[in-house]
Structure 1
Amino acid sequence: MVGTSDLRRAAVLAAETAAVAAGYYAAGRLGLLRQLVVEGAIFTPIWPPSGVAVACLLILGLRCWAGITLGALLVILSLTSPTALSPSVVFHLAGNTAAPVCAYLMLRKVGFRSDLARLRDGLALVFLGALTAMLLSSTVGVGVLLATDQLPAHAFWPVWLAWWVGDAMGVLIVTPVLLVLHAARRPPPLTRWKEAVGLAVIGLALIPLATNSHVSLLFLVYPLLIWSALRFQLAGSMLCALITSVLATVAATDGVGPFAGLTRVEVMSKLQAFNGTMALTALLLSAVITEQRNTRRSVERACQELVEVLEHLTAGDAPHGRPSTDTEDGPPGET
């Protein structure tokens, strides 16, 4: 029995590792479809594998770290031949693995909850999981490029900033979506589906217009984000943010719409500022709304329980308050 149990655990671990590696690799290939060049270095405005890695760690725990490393290796092998691999690849793999692991450890340290139902959880994901932890991967990655003479010294900070923001955007945009999908248990009722379809239709018409119009109309996305957060909380707002960021990245890499006529550095700055503010708005607004709704439900339940207790006490006190009509002595005058 012990041997069978050990084999079962090993098989489950191997399956989880393979699934995480496949998800990381698929996200990496999707991220590489759109690239920008800064100071001669190619980078992706959003690096989805960082978001996939953090989400997998939050769902499965530290045991999936090997899948992250394997997935990162597969992404590197897809870009170069195995014979061209250098010792610097080890440092890249270490940085890509250590950053999400560091994010996981810091989030667990502050009591992070994966449902993102509290404002503190949204703030923790933003400032610890994304902005702080991803400093590790960007510093290690660009540092290796500098140490191996693949990057001139004057280009360190622009490339480092682009790398860091790309990894952070992956966590801000991809991780919440994966956590929502993992937590989903049942579809919403039919009445909510009607509103969701209406929201999707408006979004599919409005978002391409905002991201491809030569007139700067990116601000039109924010009312849609607010509607999504108010009615569908994290699921609606982050899906809206994900679609918007993808279309904005496509427009930026093609140099069309509000990104037309800009230099590569200007495109990077405008795109990352837009994606960052949009992701922050969607994540924190939905967390605040969810927290307020949960607080209201808790107050309503407490009030209902208080009413039930008062009714029970009132019903229990009534018999003691009525005068007794049965006496052991007979009516007056009887002996």
Structure 2
Amino acid sequence: MPPAPVPPATSPFRDPRRLAATALRLLAITAAYYASGRLGLLEQLVIGGAKVTPLWPPTGVALTGLLLFGLGVWPAVALGALLVIGSLGPIHLASLGIVAGNTLAPVAACLILRRVGFRVELDRLRDGLALVFLGALAGMLISSTIGTAVLALDGSLPWGGFWSTWSAWWAGDAMGVLVITPLLLALRTIRFPLEAGPLDWIEPALLLLGTVAVTLLATSTTLSLLFLVFPLLIWAALRYQLLGAAPCAFVISVISVAAATHRSGPFSRHGVVADMVLLQALNGCAALTGLLLAALIAEQRNTYQRIEQACVQLSEVVARLAPGQAATRWLPPDEDGRP
């Protein structure tokens, strides 16, 4: 009997539907990168002779796209970065260097995270730590180093302002990953249960509105009240894990960036560099607290669920092995701890 013929491998370029889906995915990432970049440019500061943004959302958009759809979407990241720079003025050789740095940084961060077994669910403490220290703090060294060096070599930035510009660039890109990537990864998991009633939305709404109100209060007075945002952030992480902590951290970051760039509230008493240190310390601590606490609670809940499943399976095995005995099937305890 002759062997059955092996069907030819299907190429995405030969399948119109796959080709269209790929094209739409690339266009969506490019559009998201450009839109978030334009929003990020609304709040700029001049540090060391160059304009920088305290929070650069496109880095979080780019890393999320690479994590979800693979390294093949890197041209969309490069095109989005080119469009953002092109919206500011004519494209020249230094612009291409900045585009290369803004593309290589999220690609390198994605490769590092894949290497350590990162999961986009962010339901393990190790995933939160990897995103913070490898994806944000380490990966964004590439874009800040390349971008600042290109501006200095081009003559657009004096060498005396290299390190201040580099640190602000690195912090802005890192904050983009810490704030935007968890938010996008959390939003993709939203489910609206049919049985949910109006009362089920009261607590999340109060959490979000409370975070907005407290952050506005803390950033509108010269008193040192920025610590007031952390109880609400911890509450959100404990109750809703990443889906609660990520939006609250985003709200805190956006409001505090607006206050810092307008030199209002607690950001009006120091110089620009000192204000940026205060701002990034607040944003970094808020993102770290929410992300790591949410990942820790999710990991503990997953462990408890696995233990429950193992106990149920064990009770079923015991019941089958000793059918003549009055074996009580194991049931998980209720919320009060009673079996």
- 1:43-99 Cα shifts (integer Å, max 9, x gaps): 00000000000001111111111110110011011100xxx3211222111111111
1:154 equivalent in structure 2 = 160
CA distance 1:201–1:86, change in 2 (3 Å) = closer
* 1:106 aligns to 2:115 (yes or no): no
The CA deviation at 1:5 is 4.3
The CA deviation at 1:187 is 4.5
2:172 equivalent in structure 1 = 166
After TM superposition, the structure 1 = structure 2 runs for residues 258-297 of structure 1, keeping only pairs within 5 Å, are 258-297=266-305
1:12 equivalent in structure 2 = 21
Q: Does the CA contact (< 8 Å) of 2:40 and 2:55 recur in 1?
A: yes
Q: Gapped runs of 5+ residues in structure 2?
A: 1-7, 327-339
Give the residue type in structure 2 aligned to 1:88: A
Name the Cα RMSD after superposition.
1.8
Give the residue type in structure 1 aligned to 2:222: H
* Residues in 2 aligned to 1:129 and 1:205: alpha-carbon distance in whole angstroms: 31
2:138 equivalent in structure 1 = 132
Q: Percent identity?
A: 53
- Give the one of 42, 52, 76 matched to 1:43: 52
SS at match of 1:79: coil
After TM superposition, the structure 1 = structure 2 runs for residues 43-192 of structure 1, keeping only pairs within 5 Å, are 43-80=52-89, 84-187=90-193, 189-190=196-197, 191-192=199-200
SS at match of 2:42: coil
* Residues in 2 aligned to 1:169 and 1:204: alpha-carbon distance in whole angstroms: 19
Structure 1 or 2: larger helix share?
A: 1
- 1:165-193 Cα shifts (integer Å, max 9, x gaps): 10000000000110111233435933542
TM-score, with structure 1 as normaliser: 0.90
* Residues in 1 aligned to 2:97 and 2:244: alpha-carbon distance in whole angstroms: 38
Q: Does the CA contact (< 8 Å) of 2:108 and 2:139 recur in 1?
A: yes
Q: Does the CA contact (< 8 Å) of 2:223 and 2:265 recur in 1?
A: yes
Give the residue type in structure 2 aligned to 1:182: R
TM-score, with structure 2 as normaliser: 0.89
* Residues in 2 aligned to 1:88 and 1:220: alpha-carbon distance in whole angstroms: 43
The CA deviation at 1:306 is 1.3
SS at match of 1:315: coil
Q: Does the CA contact (< 8 Å) of 2:49 and 2:158 recur in 1?
A: no
The CA deviation at 1:197 is 2.0
- Give the one of 22, 35, 44 matched to 1:26: 35
* Residues in 1 aligned to 2:209 and 2:287: alpha-carbon distance in whole angstroms: 21
- Give the one of 212, 223, 238 matched to 1:215: 223
Q: Does the CA contact (< 8 Å) of 2:82 and 2:96 recur in 1?
A: no
* Residues in 2 aligned to 1:205 and 1:151: alpha-carbon distance in whole angstroms: 39
- Which is greater in Rg? 1
The CA deviation at 1:201 is 3.2
The CA deviation at 1:313 is 1.6
SS at match of 2:46: strand
The CA deviation at 1:33 is 0.7
The CA deviation at 1:149 is 1.2
Give the residue type in structure 2 aligned to 1:236: G
* 1:255 aligns to 2:227 (yes or no): no
1:329 equivalent in structure 2 = none
- Give the one of 196, 220, 225 matched to 2:204: 196
- Give the one of 305, 311, 321 matched to 1:303: 311
The CA deviation at 1:317 is 7.2
The CA deviation at 1:36 is 1.4
- 1:127-172 Cα shifts (integer Å, max 9, x gaps): 1110111000000000001111111112111100000010000000
Give the residue type in structure 1 aligned to 2:209: V
2:329 equivalent in structure 1 = none
- 1:273-315 Cα shifts (integer Å, max 9, x gaps): 1111111111111101111111111111111221222122221
Q: Does the CA contact (< 8 Å) of 2:218 and 2:228 recur in 1?
A: yes
* Residues in 2 aligned to 1:187 and 1:121: alpha-carbon distance in whole angstroms: 27
Q: Gapped runs of 5+ residues in structure 1?
A: 319-335
Count of equivalent residues: 315
Give the residue type in structure 1 aligned to 2:246: M
Q: Does the CA contact (< 8 Å) of 2:123 and 2:298 recur in 1?
A: yes
